[in-house]
């Protein structure tokens, strides 16, 4: 473990009794089946997680368990981190928002198990991105549930420009091979350009430049 890196990321370690916070938390996480390598990774990247009171960590593990999370999943520790980073009130606000957007309780649990990082997004980010996808007419809530990583992408610099370009190409019957919306949104800028911009520069070149944020 890179101790200087940990201390640089969280000088708070110097202000805590680690024998009453970090060490018990690490031992408890190991007892939950979390590997030492995962713990080391999170300790270096998210040191604050290990400074919570052990009682809080145990309670949050219980909450994650109750949501049907598999302890053998590589995302189990990440789920604990996300839950631990939010107050119960903030968590409830996220649930209210998601339900207002059309997510069912099962949908919410499915998203959490697939990508717990989704719940770290701001409420405005979740709302704007979800509504953008739903208004395209190309997908519904179930599609979003199965591809929650899409909601973490930038609306202005990636999603809106690409969706507008796809609309133009489709309206002019220029797409010889249709790819899924998720595939298109996940493409690197270079690959997207090679697939959709360069072959149709006369039709969408200026549109792509115009839709990029300035």
Q: Does 16 share its domain with 73? A: yes
Among the candidates 62, 84, 106, a domain finishes at 84
**Which residue has better confidence, 212 or 200?**
200
Average pLDDT over residues 107-135: 93
Give the pLDDT score at 1: 46
Among the candidates 128, 152, 176, a domain finishes at 152
Q: How confident is the model at residue 137 (pLDDT cuts 50, 70, 90)?
A: confident
Q: Does 65 share its domain with 132? A: no
Residue-number span of the structural domain to which 132 is assigned: 88-152
For residue 82, pLDDT over 90 is answered with: yes
Q: Does 106 share its domain with 175? A: no
For residue 44, pLDDT over 80 is answered with: yes
Q: What is the pTM of this model?
A: 0.80
| Mean residue pLDDT across the chain | 87
Considering only CA atoms, which of 208, 122, 103 is closest in space to residue 166? 208
End-to-end CA, the chain: 42
Q: What percent of the chain has pLDDT over 70?
A: 87
- Only one residue has tokens 């190409």, namely 169
Q: Does 170 share its domain with 148? A: no
Q: How confident is the model at residue 210 (pLDDT cuts 50, 70, 90)?
A: very low
Q: Structure tokens of 48?
A: 């604050």
**Which residue has better confidence, 68 or 201?**
68
């Amino acid at each position: 473990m890179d101790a200087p890196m940990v201390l640089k990321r969280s000088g708070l370690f110097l202000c805590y009794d680690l024998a009453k916070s970090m060490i018990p938390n690490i031992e408890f996480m190991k007892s939950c089946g979390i590997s030492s390598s995962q713990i080391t990774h999170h300790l270096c990247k998210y040191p604050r997680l290990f400074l919570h009171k052990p009682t809080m960590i145990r309670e949050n593990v219980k909450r994650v368990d109750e949501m049907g999370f598999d302890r053998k999943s590589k995302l189990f520790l990440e789920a604990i981190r996300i839950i631990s980073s939010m107050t119960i009130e903030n968590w409830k606000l996220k649930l209210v928002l998601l339900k207002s957007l059309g997510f069912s309780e099962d949908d919410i649990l499915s998203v959490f198990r697939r990508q717990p990082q989704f719940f770290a997004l701001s409420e405005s980010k979740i709302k704007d991105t979800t509504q953008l996808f739903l208004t395209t007419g190309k997908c519904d809530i179930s599609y979003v549930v199965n591809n929650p990583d899409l909601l973490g992408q930038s609306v202005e610099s990636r999603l809106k420009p690409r969706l507008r370009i796809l609309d133009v190409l489709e309206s002019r019957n220029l797409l010889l091979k249709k790819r899924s919306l998720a595939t298109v949104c996940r493409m690197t800028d270079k690959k997207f350009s090679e697939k959709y911009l360069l072959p149709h520069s006369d039709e969408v070149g200026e549109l792509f430049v115009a839709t990029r944020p300035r």
